[in-house]
A and B are shown apart, each in its own frame.
Chain A
């Protein structure tokens, strides 16, 4: 009985502690992001004053590289971990605020094009990853998780699908490790390929939004190219994210029909539960900005707030990427994921080229 009575006494303290626990990690995100911003401002100037040839490296890359260095050398101490995990929160808040920089007409125009491309990308990616998983004789549910992760929105999609199809922890951690490793790889290769192919901001932004799996990495890969490409990458990626509910529902129905997952009762409620709410926030802020709710200066202030939120996100992307941890997961999911991602990157690049020809970009 004593055990039963002590639980309620402890519970009220937990929420407060949970919020306090994130403070050191959030401060670390801020410190790394701000250090990246200072490095962007000062390294280029210092190199110029000493007549050195040094590329102009943006704060995005500095923040990610600083985070990667800490994560893969000293590691992230326990006290910072829960705060570092808030980078997803800053990412989503940043995307909502970024809505102020889009006029509703632009969203409808670009969103319409990207919706068609996203539908083709999702169908093609799921079909190819399913084929690849069968060819490599991966477990069927692991194949489903890898397909959803690479087709829709990386880790969030895998977590959502894991619950719906009742996949086990090993399958989901395999898929998450593969998607994260390949996301880190895409982060550095996409901008290089984009510059090599002389892609316009529009074409590159579309490609990054379609081809990079995780929202944080897609945002960073876009921002590494240019501000305009970053904006478009976020819009296209958000369109992909909006599809998550439909794809997860389709998988849940498929596995339930095989008797290997629970039947989904209330489908509209299921779709609403899985729908990424930040997409609605993004649209709401865009509608408000379009109809003059904010002055020009206020739109500028909201855009800067969004940049600060992304600054914390980019630091978090570097800090949570630990190559040693990923290596522990084994090579098999990486092999399937890597082949799939290379093919999907080529496929989405082809889609973007095709759309460019049609729309004259």
Chain B
């Protein structure tokens, strides 16, 4: 029974290692939006 919490802790550690900061998420989302605009999926963004 003790193996389950350990493997779970390892999974959490691995998850934290790959967890992006808010900063990085903002960059990823903005770059993705820019690529969608470049690909012509969003042709016109009104203001």
Contact = CB atoms under 8 A, between A and B. Distances in A.
- A and B are interacting partners: yes
Given A4-B4, A304-B45, A92 B26 contact: yes
B39 to A, nearest CB: 10
Given A4-B5, A5-B4, A88-B22, A302 B37 contact: yes
A86 B24 CA distance: 14
A305 B31 CA distance: 12
A1 interface: yes
Contact of B47 (A8, A281, A298, A307): A307
A277 B33 contact: no
Interface in A1-46: 1, 4-5, 7-8
Interface stretch (A93-101, A102-110, A112-120, A322-330): A93-101
Interface residues of B, number: 24
A308 B29 CA distance: 14
5 contacts: A89-B29, A92-B26, A93-B30, A298-B37, A305-B45
Interface of B: 1, 4-5, 8, 21-27, 29-31, 33-34, 37-38, 42-47
B27 A281 contact: yes
A285 interface: yes
A353 interface: no
Among A1, A5, A277, find the residue whose CB has the most chain B CB atoms closer than 10 A. A277
A288 interface: yes
Contact of B42 (A91, A96, A276, A301): A301
B45 A281 contact: no
Contact of B31 (A91, A96, A297): A96
A97 B38 contact: no
A8 B45 contact: no
A301 B26 contact: no
A97 B47 CA distance: 15
B47 A304 contact: yes
A128 interface: no
A188 interface: no
A308 to B, nearest CB: 7
Nearest to A306: B30
A93 B33 CA distance: 10
A8 B44 CA distance: 45
A174 interface: no
Given A277-B27, A278-B27, A294-B38, A305 B33 contact: yes
A304 B37 CA distance: 11
A284 interface: yes
B27 A305 contact: no
Contacts of A96: 26-27, 30-31
A4 to B, nearest CB: 5
B27 to A, nearest CB: 4
Interface string A259-298: 0000000000000000011101100110010000110011
A92 B22 contact: yes
A309 B45 CA distance: 12
Contacts of A92: 22-23, 26-27, 30
A93 B31 CA distance: 9
Given A1-B1, A281-B31, A298-B37, 10 more contacts: A88-B22, A93-B30, A96-B27, A278-B27, A288-B34, A293-B38, A294-B34, A294-B38, A300-B45, A301-B45
